[in-house]
Amino acid sequence: MTTNFEYKKILLTGGSGMVGRNFIENKKSKNYILISPTRKELNLLNYEKVNSFILKTKPDLIVHAAGRVGGIQANIREPFLFLKENADMGRNIILAAKNQNIKNLINLSSSCVYPKNLDIPLKEDFILTGPLEPTNEGYAIAKIFVQKLCTFINKENIDFNYKTLIPCNLFGKYDDFNLNSGHLIPNIIKKIHDAKLNKKNKVTIWGDGSVRREFMYVNDLIDFLYYSFENFKKMPEVINVGLGKDCSVLDYYKIVAKCFDWKGTFEFDLSKPVGQKQKLVSLIRLKNFGWSNKISIEKGISETIKYYLESNENVS
């Protein structure tokens, strides 16, 4: 492939998170020099430290993948921290990049930025056209704020290319399997595996299982990121990254149960919040950009279960 990406030194924030660790582990070319400071090395909540770090390292491109993330329980429990920390981290990295004249940046957002109860699929132009889903409003507002910083910088500075990716829900290696903070698929993996270990024949699902979600294996997003480096100039300013298809929550439980060969049944707790009924992103811009995912949900879940079993001492 002929590259129009002329930059080699990449600063990655969030290198200890799921996206960051997989990004580093699946480096596509020896020509890329990756700079990925730990939290001890760089406090993203401190603007002066961020500005000094960028001044010192002078990256050609910044990939902002850091953030406070979590599932529905964590978002409901701590909306203040989800809003404040994600807004502060995004603001600091983007304003410091602008201040140091770093002209190329990729900002990772989330499909949580889309208003609730919109027509499906969700197009990039739908952002800020209606009220947000209350269960993750703090996180969504922070992500919209950071996206708009990028947009306004581009608008006022013609040589700047600050681009925002809106991935669908992600899962995979290095995911969070804590039931109090993790997302849907790692939670399902832990719940069903615990049930199998403890010889339980029932697992509880929040809601009636009909809510639909689009999930993508994290390695697909990593593939997209490296593809975007090679095609950076033509990448849209805001672009969804997803599969273009979704499954019900119950479907995901059934897939995981099959992987574990667990023969139990499901019960439904209708008192629990479930979020939006559906969040399926439009892939029109993504297809025009020339990329599509390669890993099936079933394969991704199987690989994630393999990682979970191999990396936890107390599971077998």
Residue 164's nearest CA partner among 100, 104, 226 is 104
Burial 202-235 (b: 16+ CB within 10 A, else e): ebebbbebebbbbbbbbbbbbbbbebbbebbeeb
Pairing of strands 9-13, 33-35: parallel
139 is known as an active-site residue:
yes
Helix (H) / strand (E) containing 10: strand 9-13
Residues 6+ apart with CB under 8 A from 306: none
Which pair of structure tokens corresponds to residue 9?
A: 């030194």
Pairing of strands 247-248, 212-213: antiparallel
Rounded CA-CA distance 209/252 in Å is 9
Rounded CA-CA distance 221/225 in Å is 6
Q: From the candidates 7, 47, 114, 139, give the one annotated as an active-site residue.
A: 139
> Residue 57, SS3?
helix
- Give me the residue label for tokens 């581009």: 154
* Residue 233, phi then psi, degrees to nearest 5: -65, -35
Which pair of structure tokens corresponds to residue 83?
A: 């809003």
Which pair of structure tokens corresponds to residue 119?
A: 């027509």
Helix (H) / strand (E) containing 118: none
Q: Active-site positions?
A: 139
